[in-house]
């Protein structure tokens, strides 16, 4: 797979690989989130995510905490159940759709009310997309390195070629899909470093 620069992130002719429709489990989650959709569907789903994030004050996330950043973010989302292991399991399968995460997805659906709808998917998406990336950002801050927490992402060009987009210099992405939770991720890093 060819690697290209992050300048491509602002090119609307390069789309994300879409997830096929599914009724439950990781397949359902991937098919219901903004991360794996394009066009008007992406815009609608991203608006849900942005609305959720806007409702979370990043300031309390700066307070020192122990444990995984996903657990701290879940508390800020008023989730009292311990969801960290399920979020980590889903995060590990998020890009591939590995069915090993199906049960974890269904437990997270139950935590957020039990409906297989876009609103539930958006809640889970916020936690899952913050999970590994924020943990990596914490580790990078601890070591003083400046690598992007997510080194690359995929796009499909107008010719059908899938390319790998290097995120060097763009730790939160760029363009219309830039991470909407940047302030929250940096606050979680500050809190983790105490």
pLDDT in tens, the chain (194 residues): 999 999 999 999 999 999 999 999 999 999 999 999 999 999 999 999 999 999 999 999 999 999 999 999 999 999 999 999 999 999 999 999 999 999 999 999 999 999 999 999 999 999 999 999 999 999 999 999 988 899 999 999 999 999 999 999 998 999 999 999 999 999 999 999 98
pLDDT for 34 equals: 98
Inter-residue contact 164 to 173 (CB < 8 Å) = no
Domain boundary assignment for the chain: 20-146+179-193
Inter-residue contact 121 to 105 (CB < 8 Å) = no
Inter-residue contact 71 to 84 (CB < 8 Å) = yes
Q: How far apart are the first and last CA of the chain?
A: 40
pLDDT for 174 equals: 92
pLDDT for 44 equals: 98
Q: Can you give the C-alpha Rg of the chain in angstroms?
A: 16
pTM (whole model) above 0.75: yes
pLDDT for 146 equals: 86
Q: CB-based contacts of 179: which residues, under 8 Å, 6+ apart?
A: 129, 133, 172, 173, 185
Q: CB-based contacts of 94: which residues, under 8 Å, 6+ apart?
A: 26, 29, 30, 35, 101, 128, 129
pLDDT for 189 equals: 97
């Amino acid at each position: 797979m060819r690697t290209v620069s992050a300048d491509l992130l602002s090119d609307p002719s390069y789309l994300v690989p879409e997830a096929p429709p599914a009724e439950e489990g990781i397949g359902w989650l991937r098919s219901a989130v903004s991360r794996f959709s394009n066009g008007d569907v992406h815009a609608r789903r991203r608006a849900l995510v942005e609305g959720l994030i806007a409702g979370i004050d990043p300031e309390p996330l700066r307070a020192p905490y122990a444990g995984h950043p996903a657990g701290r973010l879940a508390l800020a989302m008023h989730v009292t159940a311990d969801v960290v292991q399920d979020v980590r399991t889903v995060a590990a399968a998020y890009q591939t759709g590995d069915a090993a995460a199906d049960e974890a997805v269904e437990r997270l659906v139950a935590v957020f009310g039990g409906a297989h709808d876009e609103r539930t998917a958006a809640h889970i998406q916020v936690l899952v997309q913050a999970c590994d990336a924020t943990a990596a950002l914490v580790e990078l801050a601890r070591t003083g390195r400046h690598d992007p927490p997510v080194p690359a992402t995929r796009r499909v060009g107008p010719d059908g070629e899938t390319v790998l987009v290097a995120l060097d210099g763009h730790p939160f992405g760029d363009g219309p899909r830039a991470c909407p939770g940047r302030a929250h991720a940096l606050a979680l890093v500050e809190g983790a470093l105490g």
